[in-house]
Every structure is written in C-alpha cells, then in structure tokens.
Structure 1
Amino acid sequence: MIARLLLVLALFLAPPTFAQPVLTAADMRPSQNLDGAWHWSVDPFRDGKAGFHGGVPGESSRRWGDVVQTDAMEKNPRALYEFDMQRSPVVHLPGSWIGHAAEMRYYQGLVWYQRTFDARKPAPGTRVFLRFGAADYTADVFLNGKSVGSHKGGFTPFAFDVTELLRDGSNQITVGVDSARTDDDVPPPVTDWETYGGITRSITLITVPETFIDDAWIRLGRDGNIHVDIRLFGSQAANRDVSVRIPALGPVLSGRTDAEGRWSASITASNRLKRWSPETPTLYDVRFESGADVLQDRVGFRTIETRGTQILLNGKPVFLRGISMHEEELGKDPVRAITPAAARALLTEIKQGLNGNFVRLAHYPHSEVMTRMADELGLLVWSEVPVYWRVNWQNPATLADAQAQLRENIVRDRNRASIVLWSVANETPVGDARNAFLRTLINEVRTLDDSRLVTAALLSKREGKVMSIDDPLVADLDVMAINTYNGWYSQDPLADLQGFEWRSPTNKPLIFSEFGADAQAGYHDAGAEPHKFSEEFQAEYFRQTLAMAAKVPFLAGLSPWLLKDFRSPRRQHPVFQQGWNRKGLISETGARKQAFSVLAEEYRRRAGSTR
C-alpha cells in the first residue's frame, strides 16, 4: 500500500516532462561564454537568502541586489552593506570552491558568485537563455537584481529565459550556490565522493529565434531505420516546417509539427552509413532546421540490445572491457573542471592504456564534455543518476527529484552514440518502497529512450562461496550489474577468490560493475602475503578476481572500481588515504600502479579473442 501510494503521489508531484526548455545540444549553439573571472562571497548562515527572522533579507545582506556597494555608500553615508560583491575575491569559473581557498576544503553551505558582462538588448523575434552546465547542489540565479529561477540537482544542465531582463551595456549576474543536502535529496548527504560545491560546468548566454528547436533526437533503430523526434518551443511551434539533413548521407527528411510542436519521422538508413563502434567511432554532422533556427550536432549511429546473456553492439556480441571513474581531473588539487583536454587524458588511459572499450561514469551524470569525448574516442558509456545508498524511498518529493535529474540527463545525452546503458541506482537496499521507487525510474527511462539498455548496480547474496543475484529488480532490468568486493571488504584469502561460484536467476547478461582494492601508489610489500594498501595486494586482488570472473558464463562486462584515485572525505587513514579513496589503478596525478598492467593484459587478451 505504501509503495502504491508513493507512486501515485510521485506522478502527481513530478513536473511534466519537458515543461521547461531543455536546449538539447546547447553546447553546439553559438553563445556568449560567461566563464572566467567571478567574485565570490561565503554565506554560511544564508544571510543573503533570509533575514534572521526568516523574512526577505534586508538591503544590507542582499547579495543579489543590482547595486555597486561602494558607490552606494559614497553617495549615502548612512547606507549599510555587510558585504561587497565587487570587492570580494576573484576566482576562475567553472570549478568548485574547494580550490578557492584552503579554508573551503570541507565547506558545506551557501556561496555567492557575481560578475558583470556586456550585452545588447535582444532583437525583436529572438529570445535569450542563460544556461548552466551544472551547479552543485542548488542554485538561485539573479540577473540585474531580479530572480530568474532556481534549480536543484548538482549534475545536470538548466537554463532560464532572460530575454526581458537583459539590458544594453553592462549586466550583473549573481548566483547563490548551496552545496548542503538533506536526507530527502538525491543524493543524500552520506556518499563516498567529494561534494565539489559550486558552479562546476560552463555558463553561457544563448540567443535563439522566438520559436526554436528545443529538443532534437536522432538515432539508428534496431529495425534498420533512422528515427527522428523534434520538439519546437515557442508561440509558433504548431504546424511549422522542420527538416533534418545529414550531408554526408544525402537525403533530407522533412515535415510539419503537430499542434504541440512535435514531429517524428523515420527513413531507411543509407547503405553508405558507417556504424559507430569503439573500433570505428564514426560521427556525422547533422542539421536540424525550422524557420530561422538551425541546430547542429555530431552524432554516431549504432544499435545496442541483448540476446540471452549477451550484449549486442550493431548486432554482434561485445564484451564490455571497462572501468569506473569519477568526474575529477588529474592533479593533486582537482576542482571538477573538466575541459576537453582533461577528458581526453582520462579516457585515453582507458582506451589506449587499458585496452578498454567501456567506461562507467559514476555515480552521477558527468559533464557533456566527457560524453562527447567518449563519442570521439570510441568508448561505450554507462551513465547514471545519483540514487545512491540511503535514499528516502517513501518521500514522493524525493522521487520527483530523482525523476527530474534522470530526465535532464537523458534529454541532454540521447544523441551520444557512446551511451549504451542508463543506470537508475547504485548499491540500494532491497525493500518494497525502494523497488517501487526504482521501477518508476526504469519506466521513465523506457518512456524517454527505448533505444538503450537499462541497468542498476546491485548487491548480491553470499552463502559460503556461492554468490547469488537475488534482487527482485533484476526482472525489470535489461542488464544485471553487481558490485562485489570479496577479498577487500571481507577476510577471504585472495587465493580463495577464484573458487567463488556465481548463480543467476535469469537468462540475462551480467556486468561486474564494481570490484577493487585500495593501494597507495609507491607503497610496496613484497611479502608472501602482502598487506592491504600495497600495490602488490591490489595487483594480486585483480589477478584473483579476474580469474573468478573468467568462470562466470553469463558475464558480459567488467567495470572495476576504478580508474583514478579520487577525493572522499570519509576516507581518513592518516598514512594511506588522507581524504582520498585509493582504489584507482592510477594515482591522482596519473602514476600507474601495478594492477593497471594486470587489467590491461586481461583486456588485451579479451580483445584479441573476439577478433
């Protein structure tokens, strides 16, 4: 009864799909980039959001006011401001406030950002959107002293129409970003990764026609046809001409939108089409056109499906030779500023260094810079939302929040050929409310994107040396995925690991979505039984776990935990961790550990066996 009530309330509270503009492929549109120098001001008591009696903050605390505080105080000696945004310190965005100052390392709360920029008042027949790639976790945005909107969720893009608020000349933008989360949020406060509060992805100002192409999705169907869905946004969206061009392939597909501004069509794929794959990551320029609006994208065409215990890419079995990773650039002081160069450095380690063809982007949607780089380099991608550990399964608002993040992630990346798996959760405890919650998300995925596979990283049951996959959610997934850490989070001798037996309740493919062991780069223990945290222990752990995996007949992929050491405040061993999870096969600066070559050799062997 509770589970059923939860679903009903969630459907009632959840915002309608695409109720707001989504600006698909916004990173490909011409734009004014607002990255760069911003002033910042810490606000631990949220003084800029509410007065001490809970009302609207007074002018002395109103960080977002359209005023230059120094000028106002010079003009009026009685003026009082307990902040001065224009004389506050300056940082370069995007990037977490972890890198702003030493005292911000573990700060959780509200920080205000402000800058000015020059613009022209929008021309008639156009509209302007202020778009953020992501801000962690909640963001309140003001332009020229006026609120333009709020967004919740730290990893997906959002945009606000600022057409009426822009003025000729100088404009002031202020953003309050609050990293604090509650038990009702997604994710909840307790995680095993760094929060990285702040504006962590690019900010742009995008001008489009009054009626524009808001969402454009193109893909190769399993039926051999290219399918297109377009949605226009604006007052003239209904009964409007639209077209799709792929210049390298010839024909133009065209039609008219319906009364809701939507249009769908399909065409038989040209025999000249080269399918995208890790071996040949072919991308095509695609032009979506309607009236004065032209939206361009770079898209690969491939199919993904399952057959029994196999995963099929372009109709042929593929073994996913992968690894997991967090969104964190190489270096001793990362700030989650993922540039194309940073993304290439990380993904190249997987593709060329590990002989991989797959990456699990955990545990939240990663930057579109990363998914586009995966398209370019030829890496299959697992993309997931942060439904992680202690979610409040019985709260309809929490479910609505998870649905919104899932929608924003899928709609942003549906044109990325690299993405083959949408994941709805990681390591969540079985229960009626949880099952109902996750089944709602699974249904949401299938509604938004029926061309990809659905999975979730689950836990397994152990009886002696028999591992059983007993999660009832398996029946709802296309691909099973299990996180397993026998030998690390257990006292099992490493030599015993390959003797474990895995049993499946269904005829579906399985991915070992996590397994791993910490090792501090440079710490060695060559004894007969090496200690945990040594490179030798990690390497042997991988040898034995890979030997176990080789005996699982329904195994279709691996994504060990993980590529690179990453920041995690919960990991506080003063010698080996010091605030870092050390399960990476490379250190935070890129030094390869012994286990790196163990996995690289396994993947070289598996790649050769499929040729």
Structure 2
Amino acid sequence: MENEIQSIQKRNYIMNKTALNILKIFLISLTLVTMTNQIINAQVINLNGKWGIIKDTLNELTINNVEEKDGWQNITVPSTWHIVNEEFLDYQGIAWYRKVIPINKIETGKRYILEFEAVDYLSKVYINNKFIGENEGGYTPFSFDVTDDLKEGDNKILIRVNDPTAEEKRTDGIRYWHIPHGKQSWYVQCSGIWQDVCLKIKPVNFIKSAKITTNISGKFEAEIDFDFHDVSKKENFSIKIYSPDGEEVFQFNKIADRIT
C-alpha cells in the first residue's frame, strides 16, 4: 500500500512538473512572440477591399495591354475569384488584379513592405508597370520590399494570378497536376487573392521574423531573422524573458551594426 502511494505521488509530481514546464514554455513563447509582433508590426496600410479583376482565358494579356482590355469587374479581397459571378464560378486559368493606392508622402528612413498572406497559385506582382517579383504556392505568405518602387501620389498595383488547368498551353506550360497536392485536392478551387494584403511601413532596420522552438523539458530555441538596410546605423538589440510569476530570468543586450 505504501509503495502504491509513493508511486502515485511520484506520478503526480512528474505530471505537475511537466505541466509547469509547459506553462513556462507557453509564457516564454508568448513573451517573445508579443515582443516580435510589437517590433514587426509597424504602420500598416490595409489593402483589402475593392479590387478590379479580369480573366485572361487565352493567356494573351501582358502588363502592356491588360488595362486596355474591356471586361474588368469588381472583386472584394480577400476572397476566391469563384464568387464574383457565374462567369468565374468554375474558372481556372489566368486572371489579373488591379488596385490603385494613394501615398501622400514617402517617409525617408523607412522600408515599405508589400505583404500577401496567400495567393493561389502562381502570382506575378507589378507596381507602376514595373515587375517586382513572383511567388509560387497558394497557402503561404510572401512579401516584397517595394521602397524604391513607390512614388508620392497614386501607385498602381497589378497582379497576374495563374491557377493552372489541364490545358497547359493556356497556363504557361503548367498543368494542374504538376502542382503538389495533398488533401486539398478533394475540395473545390480557391483561386486568386484569398487572404489579406497590406503595405507595412517599417524602420530601416527591423526584425523580419522570429521562430521559437520549445521542448517539454523547458528548454527552447529562438531564431530571429533581421533585415538590415543601413549597416552604418547602430541598433540597440534587447531580449528579456520572464518566468510565469513575472520574474526576469534572462536578459540580453547588444549595441551593434550587425548582429549574428
């Protein structure tokens, strides 16, 4: 009987210790994520809402003639283009999006980052008729530094989106089944800009991303990716970690123009 009680007490101790470690990991992760979000999320210009869209059924439109084409319609971003009307209901292939964003003043010493949460599937981005970059993949975020491509006043964004069909000649030689699919192939398509779009205004040097890997033992690793555009400018880098009861358990400070 005594051995059973000791065994139960030991199990309870291990469970309580494990729960405490999990709580510590959660709080540490929450602290770091909160800190990172405060730094990463600078001024945000929401680009959701009304956009223009047009189908390119024959894959004949280019950045030079797409805006002259008749047939532009309105679409609300974020959303799949299949909800626009019956014409788009079962459409797969290429479509173009457009939007004009006014910028009163370009702030010096700032970086302008155009961010997409997800665009299905292949996307090419243009600003003021200049090619900015492209992305493949319909489920993950991507971004472009467009600081040097914007101007004060109206800025025109055009996005060519390709959601391949079985007829590769109309979708840049790419077929639908060339795309690596998982369970999502069981469902209907979700073509177009189906997640949020925004323009973020950040400091010249900023934290680009942070990845926190935790362990049930209570140990963790934090991997922080910086984006430095002005290496001549010294930055004050600081990390503080607090225990569940609010006690500071770790602090790191460094003033440097390059942190590794």
State the TM-score, normalized to the length of structure 2: 0.70
Aligned to 1:137: 121
The equivalences for 1:166-565 within 5 A come to: 166-180=150-164, 182=175, 183-187=177-181, 191-236=185-230, 240-245=235-240, 249-251=246-248, 253-256=251-254, 261-262=259-260
- Is contact 1:240–1:261 with CA below 8 Å preserved after alignment? no
Following superposition, the deviation at residue 255 of structure 1 comes to 3.5
Amino acid at match of 1:254: F
Task: Pick closer, same or farther for the CA change 1:256–1:231 going to 2, 3 Å.
Answer: farther
Secondary structure of residue in 1 paired with 2:61:
coil
Q: CA deviation at 1:162?
A: 0.7
Query: What amino acid is aligned across from residue 218 of structure 2 in structure 1?
Result: G
CA distance in 2, matches of 1:246, 1:100: 48
Aligned equivalents of 1:240 and 1:187: distance in 2?
43
Secondary structure, in 3 states, of the residue corresponding to 2:178? coil
Counterpart AA for 2:208: D
Aligned counterpart, 1:579: none
- Residue 88 (structure 1) aligned with residue 101 (structure 2): no
| Cα distance, 1:27 vs structure 2 | 8.6
Q: 1:121 to 1:142 in 2, by over 3 A?
A: farther
Q: CA deviation at 1:261?
A: 3.8
Deviation, 1:163, is 0.4
Shift of 1:226: 4.5
**Aligned position for 1:43:** 56
C-alpha contact 1:151 1:158 (8 A) present in aligned 2 = yes
Indicate how the Cα distance of structure 1 residues 44 and 27 shifts in structure 2: closer, same or farther if over 3 A, else same.
Answer: farther
1:164–1:93 Cα change, 3 Å: same
Over 3 Å counting, the alpha-carbon distance change for 1:234 and 1:164 in structure 2 is: same
Corresponding residue SS for 1:149: strand
Identify, as 1 or 2, the structure richer in strand: 2
* Change beyond 3 A, Cα 1:99–1:38: same
Give me the whole-angstrom Cα distance separating, in 2, the residues matched to 1:91 and 1:200: 11
For 2:102, the equivalent position in structure 1 comes to 118
Partner Cα distance (2:185, 2:139) in 1: 15
Q: Secondary structure at the match of 1:128?
A: strand
CA deviation after TM superposition for structure 1 residue 250, in Å: 4.2
Residue aligned with 1:98, SS = helix
Q: Secondary structure at the match of 2:108?
A: coil
Compute the displacement of 1:29 (Å).
Answer: 4.5
2:104 is the alignment partner of 1:104? no
**Partner AA of 1:255 in structure 2:** N
Question: Is contact 1:125–1:210 with CA below 8 Å preserved after alignment?
Answer: yes
3-state DSSP of counterpart to 2:181: coil
**Counterpart amino acid of residue 210 in structure 2:** A
For the residue of structure 2 that corresponds to 1:105, the secondary structure is: coil
The answer to whether the aligner puts 1:31 opposite 2:44 as a matched pair is yes
Are the equivalent residues in 2 in contact too, given 1:38–1:93 (CA < 8 A)? yes
Matched residue of 2:87: which SS? helix
Please list the CA deviations of residues 400-421 of structure 1 after superposition, one character each: whole Å capped at 9, or x if unmatched: xxxxxxxxxxxxxxxxxxxxxx
Question: Aligned letter for 2:251?
Answer: L
Alpha-carbon separation, structure 1, partners of 2:163 and 2:130 = 22
Q: C-alpha distance in 2, partners of 1:154/1:258?
A: 38
1:164 match: secondary structure: helix
| 2:205/2:227 contact within 8 Å kept | yes
| Structure 1: segments with no counterpart, 5+ residues | 1-23, 50-56, 64-80, 263-611
Q: Which position in structure 2 is the counterpart of 1:540?
A: none
CA displacement at 1:216 relative to structure 2: 1.6
Cα deviation, residue 186, structure 1: 2.3
CA shift in 2, pair 1:193/1:29, >3 Å: farther
Which ranges in structure 2 are unaligned for 5 or more consecutive residues? 1-35, 165-173
Letter in 1 for 2:211: W
CA distance 1:39–1:124, change in 2 (3 Å): same
Q: Contact 1:120–1:166 (CA<8 Å) still a contact in 2?
A: no
On the 8 A contact 2:236/2:256 being kept in 1, the answer is: no
Report SS of the residue matched to 2:147. coil
Distance in 2 between residues matched to 1:32 and 1:244, nearest whole Å: 28
